[in-house]
Amino acid sequence: MLIPIGTGIGLSSVSLGVIRSMEQKGIRLTLFKPISQSSSNKPDKTTAIIRAHSNLNVGKSLNLDYVESLLRTSQQNVLMEEILAHYHESTLDNEVVLIEGLVSIRQHQFVNMLNEQIARTLNAKIIFVMAMGNDSPVQLRERIELARSNFGGSKNKNIVGVIINKLNAPMDEQGRTRPDLSDICDGSRKTNLKNIDIEHLQNHLPLPLLACIPWHADLIAIRATDIAKHLGAQVINEGDIQTRRIRSFNFCARSLPNMLQYFRAGALLVTSADRSDVLVAACLAAMNGVEIGAILLTGGYIIDPSVNQLCQQAFQTGLPVFKVETNTWQTSLNLQSFSLEIPVDDHERIEKVQNYVADHISNQWICSLTAFSERTHRLSPPAFRYELTERARKANKRIVLPEGDEPRTIKAAAFCAERGIARCVLLGNPEEIHRIAAAQGVELGQEIEIIDPVTTRENYVARLVELRKNKGMTEVVAREQLQDNVVLGTLMLERDEVDGLVSGAVHTTAHTIRPALQLIKTAPGNSLVSSVFFMLLPDQVLVYGDCAINPDPTAEQLAEIAIQSADSAAAFGIEPRVAMISYSTGNSGTGSDVEKVREATMMAQKKRPDLMIDGPLQYDAAIMADVAQSKAPHSPVAGQATVFIFPDLNTGNTTYKAVQRSADLVSIGPMLQGMRKPLNDLSRGALVEDIIYTIALTAIQAVSIKNGT
């Protein structure tokens, strides 16, 4: 049971992070909020977020008004019985129940008593959640001791630890985290910044420190659309209003030269609508690649039509512009009342908070929760992503990114460097790469390697001539081909100067794969290159192949794709149960298409008797246990397939996109298989997250290929 000590500690963020940490370890859990403190019978923040973004079981909550009525009539026993009933209703077949306690506020003085009673009634292990504030380690120790005394003191062995949130957050004079975004993010305001060492802090605490979560400005970066909704603003140019993040409020009331320093990535520029000079200057910055968060025009003035026309090209870069009727002073007051709570529909921020907090939760504590549990391994999507990044970190591979000046690629490389996922090599003009990074507010540290192709290409001319001499390659043609950074990156991979290659954010699949087929070739025992997607369904991860490379494989090729895909699934911790998909199940249908699948199934079974492969199977028979029972009752795969092999590219690509878009789920891939060295293709619509996971996949593949697994 997470019991908050104080207000404004970020309890929902901590709960979400603990949930994610448990999910990453494959723990079956339930969230139980015995009493909801939200108004109007709406679910509390944590419950609402979990219900909107997860299929995690959430227990039923009692409304606080109802709870108060029971307390006023001295019916505490009835209250605890109802809480127990809800607890048992919603916690079946789970290893851990995470209970979120009540936050103590002025009008609810009974909260501490209720938290203590609930913890005792449910026999819950108690974890205090608190913020550091302006306390010294000694003062924090005293606060923890005081909190512990309200729950039975040191005699209560169910008090197992403490979680400290918002470590080293900027504070005001009263020791509160600054409540408004402008004070937190605007460097012109002064706040107290501490720098307390976590190890030093642990030595002063009377309870085990289960997590210490440093404050991070990125976690409060809000969407431009949320600001516009809060102000009731009229949108002048929508642009990327749904995705642009606001990291600072800047009021542009001075002369232009004194304001240019605030024209930076993530800035909300607030100015009077009649300041055409500010608007035009901001548009120039946007056209130069600076991802300004948004422009907010005050005063209700209409933008001059000629100025509006002048700004159209900048508006097309995605720059959101909206206006309000209030003047700048009134608008600033309205902005200060903006809540920094995470909106339920802000999936990107929720994911970022969950993963960030989870990274700071004690692994030892999470693993101890199920140390004596007899359970089958469950690879949920969070567990898969966690394993992916953890294994990539351990691999410590060098991955070349030929599209080194592409904005999404730069962001992904910076993230991978920060998290230690891979050592990324960006190919491109160093000055241009640094300019694009700065415009996006991305800091490229020393871990990022940038190679200028202009100064490097000549080193690879001889090797390219040697590899392609049978095809009539000359030095002149080699120099011409090396103008293509994908060819250059592929030669770096061929010479073992890097461990893998990721491309495709701006290039086609053919552009990425062709140099590899010419220079690197397929791995021994493979006659073709194929691909798989990892489909992250709410409860499990499935493998789809081949959805990107082979248009109409023969039966022999289909069998090889099945074996490659099964091996890929196993390499990433997914038990391969391979379903050969067709429009017919078993012997119920005939025709050349279904015969191809039937023949491919027999070939794959004969080649790899150690694998569970069955087909032909219709998709519903392969994935749904009840359909499998009627259509293929004796199949070892039907109803529980994890690897789906489609008969042709048309079927595979259509199915993967239909499932991805209809179910609004994440898919990772395509991951190429069958190559002698690892390289992977991206969709040209790839998000930064997609590139990060593809880099991680490539790093892990490099280990598997080297080990021959």
pLDDT tens for each residue of 631-674: 888 899 999 999 999 999 999 999 998 988 887 777 888 899 98
pLDDT tens for each residue of 197-207: 677 777 778 89
Residue 320's domain is classified under what CATH number?
3.40.1390.20
Residue 71 pLDDT exceeds 80: yes
pLDDT tens for each residue of 216-231: 888 889 999 999 999 9
Q: What is the pLDDT of residue 183?
A: 46
Q: What is the pLDDT of residue 349?
A: 92
- Give the confidence band of 435 by pLDDT, cuts at 50, 70, 90: very high
Same domain, 198 and 313: no
Query: How many Å apart are CA 78 and CA 509, to the nearest integer?
Result: 64
The terminus-to-terminus CA distance of the chain in angstroms comes to 43
Same domain, 156 and 79: yes
pLDDT tens for each residue of 563-612: 999 999 998 888 999 999 998 887 766 778 889 999 999 999 999 999 99
Question: pTM value?
Answer: 0.74
Cβ neighbours of residue 312 closer than 8 Å, sequence gap 6 or more: none
Residue 194 pLDDT exceeds 80: no
Same domain, 510 and 531: no
Mean of pLDDT values over 154-178: 79
- Is residue 538 domain-resident? yes
Q: What is the pLDDT of residue 139?
A: 86
Q: What is the pLDDT of residue 215?
A: 87
Q: Which residue range forms the structural domain that includes residue 415? A: 394-521
Q: Which two three-digit tokens encode residue 658?
A: 């239909």
Report the 3 state secondary structure along 468-498: CHHHCCCHHHHHHHCCCHHHHHHHHHHCCCC
- Is residue 53 domain-resident? yes
- Among the candidates 521, 543, 558, a domain finishes at 521
Same domain, 528 and 499: no
- Give the confidence band of 180 by pLDDT, cuts at 50, 70, 90: very low
Least confident of 162-176, 397-411, 552-566: 162-176
Residue 237 pLDDT exceeds 60: yes
Q: Coil, strand or helix: which one is 620?
A: helix
- Is residue 689 domain-resident? no
Q: What is the pLDDT of residue 199?
A: 73
- Is residue 692 domain-resident? no
Residue 160's domain is classified under what CATH number?
3.40.50.300
Q: What is the pLDDT of residue 43?
A: 75
Same domain, 281 and 257: yes
Cβ neighbours of residue 153 closer than 8 Å, sequence gap 6 or more: none
φ, ψ of residue 537 in degrees (nearest 5): -70, 165
Residue 269 pLDDT exceeds 80: yes
Q: Are 402 and 681 in contact (CB under 8 A)?
A: no
Residue 513 pLDDT exceeds 60: yes
- Give the confidence band of 39 by pLDDT, cuts at 50, 70, 90: low
How are beta strands 398-401 and 679-681 bridged, if at all? unpaired
Query: How many Å apart are CA 690 and CA 388, to the nearest integer?
Result: 13
Same domain, 241 and 334: yes
> What is the per-residue burial (b if ≥16 Cβ within 10 Å, else e) of 64-89?
beebeebeeeeeeeebbebbeebbee
Give me the sign of the Cα torsion angle 177, 180, 186, 188. Answer: negative
Helix (H) or strand (E) holding 294: strand 294-298
Q: What is the pLDDT of residue 110?
A: 78
pLDDT tens for each residue of 114-159: 999 899 888 889 999 998 887 888 888 899 999 999 888 888 889 9
Q: What is the pLDDT of residue 76?
A: 83
Helix (H) or strand (E) holding 432: helix 430-439
- Is residue 209 domain-resident? yes
- Is residue 702 domain-resident? no
Query: How many Å apart are CA 384 and CA 387, to the nearest integer?
Result: 5
Same domain, 547 and 624: yes
Mean of pLDDT values over 251-280: 90
Same domain, 542 and 506: no
Query: Crossing angle of helices 430-439/407-419, nearest 10°?
Result: 80
Same domain, 32 and 141: yes
Same domain, 38 and 179: yes
Mean of pLDDT values over 439-454: 90
- Give the confidence band of 280 by pLDDT, cuts at 50, 70, 90: very high
How are beta strands 222-223 and 245-246 bridged, if at all? antiparallel
Residue 626's domain is classified under what CATH number?
3.40.50.10750
Domain count, the chain: 4
pLDDT tens for each residue of 305-338: 999 999 999 999 999 999 999 998 999 889 888 8
Same domain, 44 and 182: yes
- Is residue 570 domain-resident? yes
Cβ neighbours of residue 606 closer than 8 Å, sequence gap 6 or more: none
- Is residue 506 domain-resident? yes
Same domain, 211 and 146: yes
